[in-house]
Structure 1
């Protein structure tokens, strides 16, 4: 098996359809069959409105560069998987472009999101104009924003978002005491380093003496949002709302909560950090 075969197999294994299904449906797809026949005969793909160097054929499966070309009969299943976390159009396009391609894929993604009943049901009201903007950061983990989501369907979540990279960290919390929160902050700091500034709201956890002593001992500047205006901690607030929306649209239980929120975070960060 050559390098191309191995890469194609690894990519297909990430999809909700089997390689045998892609091979079978490709052979029956009128439009894709034209590409296959052109590649097999070595004829010009530009006549089909395509670039010659972009397409390859591996055991009956078409690849456009490093993306699997999906036959029309299988596209709904792929779209359903891409939208499993009920992410928005931009993130769904970013995720899809890492693995698959077909003509009009962007349009199909837009239609899938706009026609999703669950997404329409939980659509946020228009956001108010931000009260103020924090100074831009120049390096990762210079400033982080943390907040709690919950209690939500019986679960509390601690959300941490890096201001510079927008990288999220989410933890399921048994409680939201200062002690438990400090424990998770230590875990975050041990992996990413101690931030210069920590932004929170005025929740009792964050104003507790124990938490105040923790941030002070680590030399972290603790900035709290304006009282009665939690939206001033906008970065964390927005991610909390996005997380809540995604989890509302899933069948959240005690047994699958960790898997669901990790899948959501994966869908959020992959398009942003893939290179």
Structure 2
């Protein structure tokens, strides 16, 4: 199992403590640390016998850190679990994913039901965003959540069933090692965000399936890292969104499209950062 740490605080303890209920199999957790300063990974490595600290040498991004840690695992391992350190495992979650992998031999990645801390279901199994529905969701998703592009992208109206989907949230994945290696792992050009969309899309293009397994469940306190530094994380999100679409529209005659996309995402990034900074200041005054 691999997780990426970046000053994860108490989240990491909850991750490791709840892991015992997720599977009957022995587990080793490689903590690929991207420069934590809170001491949590070091403390976890001392307290939990199955946790091993791997320093990446700096903040190399999520996908790059995952690739670095997976390279430490015996290539003969059939499966690798990748999960955020702010995940808490429900009983049998990993065993349910493994059972589904046996039923679906072409499943390259498998993802569980992801619950918010309040118990609501997060839309973790989605369609791969095309240019039109991706843009529609980006522009209207916050102000008009029921728009058709957002509905198509999030697939919230789909039946909750075990099924192949376009991509799965990278907050918790069971990866078939052969599939992961066959596409070169995560694309390390994505510093943060969209690396899971890209991975799912490339797996699908290579003939593998991304399988949603609702019987497996985790709780994810999402956004703890992004919330600390919105000035860095929100622009990174928008750069990743641009890279994803630009890679899929690479031709010379699509240059005007890429230019318009870049300009639109840059403007949206600036608006998002300004809004996040205002909200942080407002919260600070009320504290």
Scaled by the length of structure 2, the TM-score of the pair is 0.24
Q: Which has the higher contact order (CA 8 A, sep 6+)?
A: 2
Give 1 or 2 for the bigger CA radius of gyration.
1
Say which structure is richer in helix.
1
